A and B are shown apart, each in its own frame.
Chain A
Amino acid sequence: MIEHYLTAFSTIFLPQNLLAICLGGLWGLMAGALPGISTSMGVVLLLPFTYAMSPITAFTILVSAYCGGITGGSITSILFGIPGEPSSVPTVIEGHSLAKQGRAAYALWVFLLCSIGGGLFSVFVMMGATPLIANFALRFGPPEYFALTILGLSVVSGLSGGSILKGVISALFGLFLAMVGTDGITGVERFTFGTSLLLGGVSFVTAMVGLLAVSEIWIEAEEPFKEYKEASGYKGMRKEFPKLSDFRKNLTNLIRSPIIGTIVGALPGAGATIAAFLAYGEAARTSKNPEKFGKGAVDGLMAAESANNASTGGSMTILLSLGIPGSNTTAMLIAAFMIHGLQPGPLLLSQKPEIIYGIFVAMLMANLFLLGLTIIGIRLFLQLTRLPYSVFSAAILILCVIGAFGLNNNVDDLYVMFAFGLIGYFMRKQGFPIAPAVLGLVLGDLAELSLRRSLLLSLGNPLILISRPISLILLCGAVFSIIYPLIKKPKALKGV
C-alpha cells in the first residue's frame, strides 16, 4: 500500500497535475459560488476538457472541482443568503445571520477552516477505511433509508426555535411539496391540477432560492432605509481570524460532525444534505446555548460545514469501492470513468491502483490548495458587501433569478421562485421555520419511495421498519430528537 501512495504522490506532484488541481479548484469555487451553476454542473462542464488528458490528470482536475464546488457554495450562502445546494441551508441560517451582524469575515474564516478540516478528515478516512464504510453502507435497505430520512426531518423540526409544532408542520409542508408531480412508482400525476408546469415536480433549488433568499430580501425591506450592516462592521480578514479557544470549546462538535459527514456521505442518495442537517441538529441538541441557533450560532456553522465537506470523502468512498454514486456530482464522475475506459467498483482497486490512490492524493492536495484559493475568493466576494444596501439586495435578487432560470433555462421556474418567495415571506412572518420545509422537499422522494419499497418487501407489514436493528435505532433517534427539546425546554414550548 505504501508504494502505491508514494507513486501517487510523485504523480500528483507533476507540474501538469498541480496545475490541474489549481484550475479545477478555482473552477469549482466559481461554480459553487455563482448562482445558477451547481457543483455537479461545474464538473459536467469540465468533462469535455478531460477527453484528451491522461486519466490521472483528468480525475485530478475533476475531484478538485468537486471539492472546490462544495467549498465555494458556502461563500454565497454566508454573504448573500443564497444556498447553492440543499446542504448549504444550515450554513445560510447561521452563517448569513453572522454576516448580518457584521461578522461576515469571521463566519467565512470559521466556514473555511471547518470545511477544509472536514474535507481532509474524510480524505484520510477514505484512504484508510474504504472497504469498511462500503460494507456498512451496503447494509442500508429501504427501511433504513426511510428511518434515516425521518431522523433527519425530526432533528431539524426539533430545532424550530421553541415551536416544535410549527417545525413539524413546516417539514410536512416540505414533504407535501415533494409529492407534487409524477409519482415515481406508478407514474400517476399528483397535485398538478392539470398544469404541465408541475408535472416534473417542484425543483428544490428553485424552491430553496425563493423560500430562503427572496423572502429574506422582502423581510429586510421592512426595515428602515439603511446601508448594509456588514459595510460598517467589516474589520478585514486578518482581524476577524477566529481564536483558538473558539475551536477548543467546540472540540467534540468538530470531531463528531466530520464523522457524521463521512458516514452519511457514504450512503447513496442521502449524501451531504442529511449529513449537514444531522450534524447541525446534533450540535444544537448538545449546545450550551441552543437559543442562539437560527441567530448566528458559531457551533451550528462549524457542524454544518465540517459535515458538508466531509461528505465528499464518504461519497467518493462508495463510488470507488462499489461503483455506486453517493451524490449527483459523483454520478457525473462515473461518466468520467467510462470516458477513460474504466469501471469504478471493487475490481478497479486491484486492477488500476494508481488511479484510486492518485484520486485519494489528489483530493488531499485539492483540499490543501483550496485553503489558499478560497482566501483569495473570499477577499473578492467581501468587496461586494461594500455596495450600497439597495444595490446589493437588487443584485442578490437578480442572482436569485439567474439561479432559478439557469437550472433548465426555463422562464416558468421564475414564477415558481416568485411563488416560493411569497410562501417563504408568509412562513417567516407567521413564525414557521424554513429549514424543515426545505429538508422535507429534498428528502420527500427518498422517504416515500423507501417506505413504499419497504412495505412491498414485507408484503404490507409495517413492522419491517422496527424489526431491523439499524432502522430501529434510527427511528428511536428520531423520536428522541422530537421529545428531547420538549423535556429540556418546557418553558419555551408553553406558548407553542
Chain B
Amino acid sequence: MKRTHLIANGVVFVFFLFMLIHAFGLHEIRRFGEVGSGFWPLVVLSSATILSFILLIREWRSKGGEKEERSEGNEGDSGGNRIKVFGSILCLLFYVIGMPFVGFILSTFIFILFFIFVLGERRKWILALSPPLVTGLIVLVFGKLILMPLPKGVGIFADFSRLFY
C-alpha cells in the first residue's frame, strides 16, 4: 500500500513539474507594464511542485504508517469490490461515449441495467422494472417538462428519440 501511495505522490509531483515547465513558456507573454500571463501559473505551480516534492519525500521516509495503511488496504480488498468499481467506471464511460450516437433514452436504459447489475443487484423485478421507470421519469421531467434538449442520437436512434421528446 505504501508503494501505491509513493507512486501516487510521484505522479502528483511529476504532473506539477510538467505543468511548471510548460508555464515557463508563458512567462514573457505580456503587454508593457503588465504582469505576464505566466506570472500567476509560475507562483502557483512552483509552490505546488515544491509541496508535492516534500510530500513525496515524507512518504518515502515514513515507515511507521506502513502497517496501518496495509491493514486499511486489506479491508478495502476483502470486499473484493475493485471489479465493481472498475465495472461502474466502465459503465459511465460507455454511457457518456454512447449517448450522442444512441440518444439519451436508449443509452440511459442500457446504462441503468448494466450499472445496477455491476453493483451486485440480482433481484429480477428490480432489474426488469428500474430501467424503464427511471428512464421514463427522467425523460418526463427533463425532456418534457423542462424541455432540456437531451441528446437524440443519430439515424434510426434519432427517429426513435423523437417519438418521446
Contacts and interface: CB of A to CB of B under 8 A. Distances in A.
B79 interface: yes
Interface string A20-44: 0000000000000010110000000
Contacts of A415: 96
B48 A388 contact: no
Contacts of A175: 44
B134 A398 contact: yes
Nearest to B79: A224
B14 interface: no
Interface residues of A, number: 62
Interface in B18-33: 19, 22, 26, 29-31, 33
Contact of A176 (B48, B64, B112, B126): B48
Contact of B12 (A36, A169, A393): A169
A133 to B, nearest CB: 30
Contacts of B155: none
Contacts of A391: 112, 116, 121, 126, 130, 134
For the residues of A in contact with B, the DSSP-based class is helix
Contact of A169 (B34, B48, B82, B93): B48
Contacts of A223: 79, 81
Interface residues of B, number: 65
Nearest to B101: A411
Contacts of A168: 47, 51
Given A222-B84, A398-B138, A37 B146 contact: yes
B115 interface: yes
B39 interface: yes
A391 B120 CA distance: 11
A348 interface: no
Interface of B: 5, 8-9, 12, 16, 19, 22, 26, 29-31, 33-37, 39-41, 44-45, 47-48, 51-52, 54-55, 58, 62, 64-65, 76, 79, 81-82, 84-85, 88-89, 92-93, 95-96, 99-100, 108, 111-112, 115-116, 119-121, 123, 126, 130, 134, 138, 141-142, 146, 148-151
24 contacts: A165-B54, A165-B58, A169-B12, A169-B55, A176-B48, A179-B44, A186-B36, A190-B26, A221-B119, A222-B85, A389-B119, A390-B121, A406-B142, A411-B99, A414-B99, A415-B96, A417-B96, A418-B93, A426-B8, A452-B35, A455-B35, A456-B33, A456-B34, A456-B35
Interface of A: 34, 36-37, 165-166, 168-169, 172-173, 175-176, 179, 183, 185-186, 188, 190-191, 214, 217-218, 221-225, 388-391, 393-395, 397-399, 401-402, 405-406, 409, 411, 414-415, 417-418, 421-422, 425-426, 429-430, 447-448, 451-452, 455-456, 459-460, 495-496
